[in-house]
Structure formats: C-alpha cells, structure tokens
C-alpha cells in the first residue's frame, strides 16, 4: 500500500488569491492524479500529473487555472489560481504504485474560498 | 468506459449482510468492475475488483452475473464503520494505468 500525505489539510482563502497543495507519497509511484470533489458531489478528475512533462488535463480544466508540477516520482503540487467561491471543494491526490492494481487516495485538502 | 447505475441510498442493520447492486449493461469484454468506498471526510478506499469470476477478499465479495451486465458487492457482516458512499466503476485497465470515473455512488447507512 501507499501512505499519501497532503498539505495543507484545509485552508480558507480570499477570492483572487492562489493556493498550492502538496502531495507526498512514501514510495515511488507510476502515476499521480488530482481530483476535485465539490460539496455533496462525487469526485471529478482534474488531471494526470506527469513526471518531467506537462500534466494532462481533463475536459473543463486548464493549466492556467490549475497548474500542476511533478518534479519526481513521489511528489506533486496542484495550484488553484485566481480563486473564486466556486473553487471551494476538496482536492484529492491519487496514485498508482508500480505494478499495483489499486489506486490510492490521499486524505484531501478542504478549500474554502470567501 | 461503460456507465454504471447504482441506487442512491440503502440502509443496513449492523451484523447483517449488505448487498449493494450495480448495473453496467454496456460493459465491454475487456472492462473490469471496481468497487471503492468513501467514508465521510476521507479519500476513497479500494475494496475489490473483478472481470467475470466472483471474487472475495478480507473486506467483501463481488458477484458478477454471467452476462456481466450487473454485479453485487456483498459486505458479509456490516458494522457501523461500513457507513460510507460506495462507488461501482467500470474500466479497462486492470493495472489502473489510467483514471477512475466516479459516479454518484450509493450512500450506505449501517444502523445499530
């Protein structure tokens, strides 16, 4: 299994500012993903974080709004830029271990934008 | 990936078996059925997956119909800690070399 930590666990931010969320895994992983869960909703995939190259974004999500970095096999960041109240959500990091059949999720970062 | 249909909610008595249905009538031959659950304020947790044979692990059993158009997740002895949203997901890659598409899931409430 994998132990995934996210920082911060929660934050309250002002409209127009940006927040960077960190995801750290205790072992090397093949793939890393970022998901969003809006209040009362299911999870939606934002993007796949690719090591050493630009992230692959899902429809409806763009790099200018959600820039992602993945400098190595155990770490990734997601930035929520120019925030509005509609960005208030839980943001979750998810990973697939090498040769694993399971996809693991971090505890999430609860973001509130005022 | 094929679409799944689940009941929005169900209740279960503690100690009883919980049977969670999932319909995936458009499933393709190379698509697997995965189950995850999300306990309140936590990230989703993998439960089990299968292709066409029934599967069992320490958490649950997965029964897939012969035509593979539906499946049932069985929690054999539900406890209060099993209260969660349960997601049935159909996808191609067994090694998860891709992304999970979550639907609305089934809210399961286990009562004393």
SS (H, E, C) B53-80: CCEECCCCEEEECCCCCEEEEEECCCCH
Selection from A6, A75, A32, A36 nearest residue B102 by Cα: A36
Does residue B97 have a pLDDT over 70? no
Alpha-carbon gap, residue A91 to A37, rounded angstroms: 6
Mean pLDDT of chain B: 91
Give the pLDDT score at A31: 86
Per-residue pLDDT averaged across B85-104, rounded? 79
Give the pLDDT score at A1: 76
Closest residue in chain B to residue A110, using alpha carbons only: B41
**With contacts defined as CB-CB under 8 Å, which chain A residues touch B87?**
42
Q: What is the pLDDT of residues B3-41, one digit of tens each?
A: 899 999 999 999 999 999 999 999 988 888 999 999 998
Selection from B39, B41, B86, B42 nearest residue B60 by Cα: B86
Does residue B61 have a pLDDT over 90? yes
Residues 6-25 of chain A with CB under 8 A from chain B are none
CB of A109 within 8 Å of a chain B CB? The answer is no
Per-residue pLDDT averaged across B51-57, rounded? 93
Does residue B96 have a pLDDT over 60? no
CB of A91 within 8 Å of a chain B CB? The answer is no
Q: What stretches in chain A show pLDDT beneath 50? A: none
Selection from A71, A68, A72 nearest residue A80 by Cα: A68
Give the pLDDT score at A47: 94
CB of B97 within 8 Å of a chain A CB? The answer is yes
Give the pLDDT score at B91: 83
Distances (CA, A) of A44 to A39, A53, B18, B61, B77: 12, 22, 27, 27, 31
* pLDDT > 70: percent of chain B: 93
- How many other CB atoms sit within 10 Å of the CB of residue A76? 26
Tokens standing for residue A91? 């943001």
Give the pLDDT score at B99: 72
* pLDDT > 90: percent of chain B: 75
Element holding B88 (H helix, E strand):
strand B84-91
């Amino acid at each position: 299994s994998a132990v995934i930590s996210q920082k911060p666990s929660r934050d309250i931010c002002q409209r127009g500012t940006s927040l960077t969320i960190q995801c750290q895994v205790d072992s090397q992983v093949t793939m890393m993903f970022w998901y969003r869960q809006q209040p009362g909703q299911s999870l939606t995939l934002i993007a796949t974080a690719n090591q050493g190259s630009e992230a692959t974004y899902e429809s409806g999500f763009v790099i200018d709004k959600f820039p992602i970095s993945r400098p190595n096999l155990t770490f990734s960041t997601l930035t929520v830029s120019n925030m509005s109240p509609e960005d208030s959500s839980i943001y979750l990091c998810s990973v697939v271990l090498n040769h694993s059949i399971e996809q693991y999720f971090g505890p999430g970062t609860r973001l509130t934008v005022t | 990936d094929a679409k799944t249909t689940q009941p929005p909610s169900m209740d279960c008595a503690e100690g009883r078996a919980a049977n969670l249905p999932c319909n995936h009538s458009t499933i393709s031959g190379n698509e697997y059925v995965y189950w995850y659950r999300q306990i309140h304020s936590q990230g989703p947790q993998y439960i089990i997956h299968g292709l066409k044979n029934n599967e069992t692990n320490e958490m649950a059993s997965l029964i897939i119909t012969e035509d593979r158009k539906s499946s049932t997740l069985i929690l054999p002895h539900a406890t209060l800690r099993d209260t969660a949203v349960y997601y049935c997901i159909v996808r191609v890659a067994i090694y998860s070399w891709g992304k999970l598409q979550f639907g609305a899931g089934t809210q399961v409430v286990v009562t004393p």
